[in-house]
Amino acid sequence: MRRYAVETIGTFFLVLVITTTALLHVGPAPVAIAAVLTVMIFAGGHVSGAHYNPAVTVALAVRNRFAWRDVPAYCAAQTVGALAGAVVGRHLLAGQPAEQAFTAGGRALTAAAVAELLVTFALAYVVLNVATSKNTAGNSFYGLAIGGTVLAGALTVGGVSGGVFNPAVAVGVATAGLIDWTLVPVYLACQIAAGALAGLAFRALNRDDVAEPALETAPEAPAVTAQLAQVLSGVEALTTAFHGLPGQPGAATAQQTAPAVAWSHSAH
Protein backbone atom coordinates (compact mmCIF):
# COMPACT_ATOMS: atom_id res chain seq x y z
CA MET A 1 0.00 0.00 0.00
CA ARG A 2 2.82 2.43 0.77
CA ARG A 3 4.09 2.11 -2.81
CA TYR A 4 0.77 3.34 -4.12
CA ALA A 5 0.76 6.17 -1.58
CA VAL A 6 4.22 7.29 -2.77
CA GLU A 7 3.08 7.20 -6.40
CA THR A 8 0.03 9.29 -5.49
CA ILE A 9 2.07 11.84 -3.53
CA GLY A 10 4.73 12.25 -6.21
CA THR A 11 2.22 12.69 -9.03
CA PHE A 12 0.17 15.06 -6.86
CA PHE A 13 3.06 17.48 -6.43
CA LEU A 14 4.06 17.18 -10.06
CA VAL A 15 0.61 18.24 -11.29
CA LEU A 16 0.23 20.83 -8.52
CA VAL A 17 3.37 22.59 -9.73
CA ILE A 18 2.30 22.29 -13.37
CA THR A 19 -1.12 23.77 -12.59
CA THR A 20 0.03 26.65 -10.42
CA THR A 21 2.96 27.71 -12.59
CA ALA A 22 0.74 27.66 -15.69
CA LEU A 23 -2.03 29.69 -14.05
CA LEU A 24 0.45 32.19 -12.60
CA HIS A 25 2.31 32.51 -15.92
CA VAL A 26 5.61 31.69 -14.25
CA GLY A 27 8.34 32.28 -16.83
CA PRO A 28 10.67 29.41 -15.91
CA ALA A 29 7.76 27.00 -15.36
CA PRO A 30 9.59 24.10 -17.10
CA VAL A 31 12.46 24.50 -14.62
CA ALA A 32 10.08 24.30 -11.65
CA ILE A 33 8.32 21.26 -13.13
CA ALA A 34 11.59 19.45 -13.82
CA ALA A 35 12.83 20.34 -10.34
CA VAL A 36 9.79 18.97 -8.51
CA LEU A 37 9.90 15.78 -10.59
CA THR A 38 13.60 15.36 -9.78
CA VAL A 39 13.20 15.77 -6.03
CA MET A 40 10.13 13.53 -5.91
CA ILE A 41 12.05 10.82 -7.78
CA PHE A 42 14.86 11.01 -5.22
CA ALA A 43 12.29 11.04 -2.40
CA GLY A 44 10.24 8.06 -3.53
CA GLY A 45 12.54 5.98 -5.69
CA HIS A 46 13.54 3.63 -2.86
CA VAL A 47 9.90 2.87 -2.02
CA SER A 48 7.88 2.67 -5.24
CA GLY A 49 10.44 3.19 -7.99
CA ALA A 50 9.06 6.72 -8.43
CA HIS A 51 7.30 6.18 -11.75
CA TYR A 52 4.71 9.00 -11.41
CA ASN A 53 3.78 8.25 -15.02
CA PRO A 54 1.71 5.38 -16.47
CA ALA A 55 3.85 5.42 -19.62
CA VAL A 56 6.95 4.78 -17.49
CA THR A 57 5.12 2.00 -15.64
CA VAL A 58 4.25 0.33 -18.95
CA ALA A 59 7.85 0.73 -20.15
CA LEU A 60 9.15 -0.97 -17.00
CA ALA A 61 6.65 -3.82 -17.42
CA VAL A 62 7.65 -4.35 -21.06
CA ARG A 63 11.30 -4.20 -20.02
CA ASN A 64 10.51 -6.96 -17.45
CA ARG A 65 11.37 -4.91 -14.37
CA PHE A 66 7.80 -4.49 -13.15
CA ALA A 67 4.96 -6.98 -12.69
CA TRP A 68 2.10 -6.55 -15.15
CA ARG A 69 -0.38 -7.39 -12.40
CA ASP A 70 0.65 -4.19 -10.57
CA VAL A 71 0.31 -1.90 -13.60
CA PRO A 72 -3.41 -1.04 -13.16
CA ALA A 73 -2.98 -0.17 -9.46
CA TYR A 74 0.06 2.02 -10.17
CA CYS A 75 -1.74 3.82 -12.99
CA ALA A 76 -4.78 4.35 -10.77
CA ALA A 77 -2.63 5.78 -7.94
CA GLN A 78 -0.87 8.12 -10.37
CA THR A 79 -4.16 9.30 -11.85
CA VAL A 80 -5.65 9.95 -8.41
CA GLY A 81 -2.58 11.99 -7.48
CA ALA A 82 -2.81 13.96 -10.73
CA LEU A 83 -6.50 14.73 -10.22
CA ALA A 84 -5.89 15.82 -6.64
CA GLY A 85 -2.99 18.04 -7.70
CA ALA A 86 -5.15 19.69 -10.37
CA VAL A 87 -8.08 20.27 -8.01
CA VAL A 88 -5.91 21.66 -5.20
CA GLY A 89 -3.98 23.86 -7.63
CA ARG A 90 -7.20 25.30 -9.02
CA HIS A 91 -8.53 25.86 -5.50
CA LEU A 92 -5.38 27.68 -4.38
CA LEU A 93 -5.71 30.03 -7.36
CA ALA A 94 -9.48 30.31 -7.43
CA GLY A 95 -9.25 34.07 -7.97
CA GLN A 96 -7.06 33.63 -11.02
CA PRO A 97 -8.87 34.21 -14.35
CA ALA A 98 -9.63 31.04 -16.27
CA GLU A 99 -7.07 30.17 -18.90
CA GLN A 100 -7.96 29.25 -22.45
CA ALA A 101 -7.28 25.53 -22.69
CA PHE A 102 -4.57 24.44 -25.09
CA THR A 103 -6.09 22.76 -28.12
CA ALA A 104 -5.04 21.61 -31.55
CA GLY A 105 -6.65 20.34 -34.72
CA GLY A 106 -5.70 19.18 -38.18
CA ARG A 107 -1.98 19.37 -38.86
CA ALA A 108 -1.39 20.97 -35.45
CA LEU A 109 -2.95 17.92 -33.77
CA THR A 110 -0.69 15.61 -35.77
CA ALA A 111 2.33 17.65 -34.73
CA ALA A 112 1.22 17.57 -31.10
CA ALA A 113 0.72 13.81 -31.18
CA VAL A 114 4.15 13.22 -32.72
CA ALA A 115 5.77 15.54 -30.17
CA GLU A 116 4.13 13.68 -27.28
CA LEU A 117 5.14 10.33 -28.75
CA LEU A 118 8.78 11.30 -29.24
CA VAL A 119 9.40 13.02 -25.92
CA THR A 120 7.50 10.42 -23.90
CA PHE A 121 9.62 7.76 -25.62
CA ALA A 122 12.76 9.70 -24.72
CA LEU A 123 11.61 10.05 -21.12
CA ALA A 124 10.80 6.34 -20.68
CA TYR A 125 14.00 5.35 -22.51
CA VAL A 126 16.09 7.49 -20.16
CA VAL A 127 14.32 6.04 -17.10
CA LEU A 128 15.05 2.48 -18.24
CA ASN A 129 18.72 3.22 -18.88
CA VAL A 130 19.56 5.28 -15.80
CA ALA A 131 17.31 3.58 -13.24
CA THR A 132 17.10 -0.08 -14.31
CA SER A 133 20.23 -0.98 -16.28
CA LYS A 134 22.76 -3.22 -14.57
CA ASN A 135 25.49 -1.07 -16.13
CA THR A 136 24.32 2.05 -14.27
CA ALA A 137 23.23 0.37 -11.04
CA GLY A 138 23.77 2.41 -7.89
CA ASN A 139 24.27 5.72 -9.68
CA SER A 140 23.28 8.99 -7.99
CA PHE A 141 22.27 10.95 -11.09
CA TYR A 142 19.13 9.11 -12.21
CA GLY A 143 16.73 11.74 -10.83
CA LEU A 144 18.60 14.56 -12.53
CA ALA A 145 18.69 12.70 -15.85
CA ILE A 146 14.94 12.09 -15.76
CA GLY A 147 14.12 15.65 -14.69
CA GLY A 148 16.47 16.97 -17.35
CA THR A 149 14.64 15.02 -20.02
CA VAL A 150 11.33 16.59 -19.00
CA LEU A 151 12.95 20.04 -18.96
CA ALA A 152 14.37 19.57 -22.45
CA GLY A 153 11.05 18.27 -23.76
CA ALA A 154 9.03 21.11 -22.24
CA LEU A 155 11.37 23.76 -23.66
CA THR A 156 11.49 22.08 -27.06
CA VAL A 157 7.89 21.14 -27.83
CA GLY A 158 5.90 22.74 -25.01
CA GLY A 159 4.42 25.18 -27.48
CA VAL A 160 3.53 22.38 -29.87
CA SER A 161 1.73 19.94 -27.56
CA GLY A 162 1.59 21.60 -24.16
CA GLY A 163 4.46 19.42 -22.95
CA VAL A 164 2.46 16.71 -21.18
CA PHE A 165 4.47 13.48 -21.71
CA ASN A 166 2.42 11.60 -19.10
CA PRO A 167 -1.09 10.07 -19.25
CA ALA A 168 -1.86 10.89 -15.61
CA VAL A 169 -0.71 14.48 -16.13
CA ALA A 170 -2.88 14.66 -19.26
CA VAL A 171 -5.96 13.83 -17.19
CA GLY A 172 -4.88 16.22 -14.44
CA VAL A 173 -4.16 19.26 -16.62
CA ALA A 174 -7.36 18.69 -18.57
CA THR A 175 -9.23 18.73 -15.26
CA ALA A 176 -7.45 21.98 -14.40
CA GLY A 177 -8.55 23.42 -17.76
CA LEU A 178 -5.04 23.73 -19.16
CA ILE A 179 -5.59 21.47 -22.19
CA ASP A 180 -8.77 20.60 -24.05
CA TRP A 181 -10.36 17.26 -23.18
CA THR A 182 -10.49 16.34 -26.87
CA LEU A 183 -6.69 15.97 -26.79
CA VAL A 184 -6.67 13.52 -23.89
CA PRO A 185 -7.52 10.30 -25.82
CA VAL A 186 -4.91 11.14 -28.48
CA TYR A 187 -2.27 11.91 -25.88
CA LEU A 188 -3.02 8.78 -23.85
CA ALA A 189 -2.65 6.58 -26.92
CA CYS A 190 0.62 8.21 -28.00
CA GLN A 191 2.15 8.23 -24.53
CA ILE A 192 1.31 4.61 -23.67
CA ALA A 193 2.57 3.52 -27.09
CA ALA A 194 5.78 5.49 -26.49
CA GLY A 195 6.31 3.75 -23.15
CA ALA A 196 5.86 0.33 -24.72
CA LEU A 197 8.21 1.22 -27.58
CA ALA A 198 10.84 2.39 -25.10
CA GLY A 199 10.61 -0.94 -23.30
CA LEU A 200 11.01 -2.84 -26.57
CA ALA A 201 13.93 -0.63 -27.60
CA PHE A 202 15.72 -1.30 -24.32
CA ARG A 203 15.21 -5.05 -24.71
CA ALA A 204 16.55 -4.97 -28.28
CA LEU A 205 19.62 -2.95 -27.33
CA ASN A 206 20.37 -4.69 -24.02
CA ARG A 207 19.77 -8.36 -24.66
CA ASP A 208 22.11 -9.36 -21.84
CA ASP A 209 20.05 -7.35 -19.35
CA VAL A 210 16.53 -8.61 -19.97
CA ALA A 211 16.64 -12.31 -18.99
CA GLU A 212 13.29 -13.63 -17.86
CA PRO A 213 13.17 -14.98 -14.28
CA ALA A 214 12.32 -18.45 -15.62
CA LEU A 215 15.42 -18.44 -17.82
CA GLU A 216 17.60 -17.38 -14.91
CA THR A 217 16.55 -20.36 -12.81
CA ALA A 218 16.44 -22.94 -15.61
CA PRO A 219 20.15 -23.94 -15.49
CA GLU A 220 19.73 -25.00 -11.85
CA ALA A 221 16.98 -27.51 -12.69
CA PRO A 222 19.24 -30.48 -13.66
CA ALA A 223 21.25 -30.11 -10.45
CA VAL A 224 18.11 -29.99 -8.34
CA THR A 225 16.72 -33.07 -10.11
CA ALA A 226 19.94 -35.00 -9.52
CA GLN A 227 19.97 -34.08 -5.83
CA LEU A 228 16.34 -35.10 -5.48
CA ALA A 229 17.09 -38.47 -7.13
CA GLN A 230 19.93 -39.05 -4.67
CA VAL A 231 17.69 -38.25 -1.72
CA LEU A 232 14.98 -40.61 -2.97
CA SER A 233 17.54 -43.37 -3.49
CA GLY A 234 18.78 -42.90 0.06
CA VAL A 235 15.26 -43.04 1.47
CA GLU A 236 14.53 -46.19 -0.54
CA ALA A 237 17.72 -47.85 0.76
CA LEU A 238 16.88 -46.99 4.36
CA THR A 239 13.33 -48.28 3.95
CA THR A 240 14.59 -51.57 2.54
CA ALA A 241 17.06 -51.96 5.37
CA PHE A 242 14.39 -51.14 7.93
CA HIS A 243 12.00 -53.80 6.60
CA GLY A 244 14.83 -56.35 6.65
CA LEU A 245 15.37 -56.03 10.40
CA PRO A 246 14.06 -58.93 12.58
CA GLY A 247 10.72 -58.37 14.22
CA GLN A 248 9.75 -55.38 12.04
CA PRO A 249 6.13 -55.49 10.81
CA GLY A 250 7.01 -54.32 7.33
CA ALA A 251 5.21 -57.06 5.42
CA ALA A 252 2.11 -56.80 7.58
CA THR A 253 2.02 -53.04 7.14
CA ALA A 254 2.26 -53.42 3.40
CA GLN A 255 -0.60 -55.92 3.38
CA GLN A 256 -2.74 -53.60 5.50
CA THR A 257 -2.18 -50.59 3.28
CA ALA A 258 -2.60 -52.39 -0.03
CA PRO A 259 -6.42 -52.62 0.14
CA ALA A 260 -6.64 -48.93 0.88
CA VAL A 261 -4.51 -48.05 -2.14
CA ALA A 262 -6.58 -50.36 -4.34
CA TRP A 263 -9.77 -48.73 -3.03
CA SER A 264 -8.48 -45.27 -3.81
CA HIS A 265 -7.77 -46.23 -7.43
CA SER A 266 -11.10 -47.96 -7.90
CA ALA A 267 -12.96 -45.03 -6.37
CA HIS A 268 -11.51 -42.66 -9.01
Asked if 172 contacts 86 with a C-beta cutoff of 8 angstroms, the reply is: yes
Q: What is the pLDDT of residue 102?
A: 94
Q: What is the pLDDT of residue 261?
A: 32
Q: What is the pLDDT of residue 95?
A: 80
Q: pTM (2 decimals)?
A: 0.78
> What would the pLDDT profile of 131-177 be if each residue is shown by its tens digit?
999 999 999 999 999 999 999 999 999 999 999 999 999 999 999 99
* Low-confidence stretches of the chain (pLDDT beneath 70): 211-268
In DSSP notation, the chain reads -HHHHHHHHHHHHHHHHHHHHHHTT-TTHHHHHHHHHHHHHHHHHHHH----SHHHHHHHHHTTSS-GGGHHHHHHHHHHHHHHHHHHHHHHTTTSPPPPPB---THHHHHHHHHHHHHHHHHHHHHHHHHT-GGGTT-S-HHHHHHHHHHHHHHHHHHHH-S---HHHHHHHHHTTSB-GGGHHHHHHHHHHHHHHHHHHHHHH-GGG---HHHHHGGGHHHHHHHHHHHHHHHHHHHHHHHHSTT--HHHHHHHHHHHHHHHHHH-
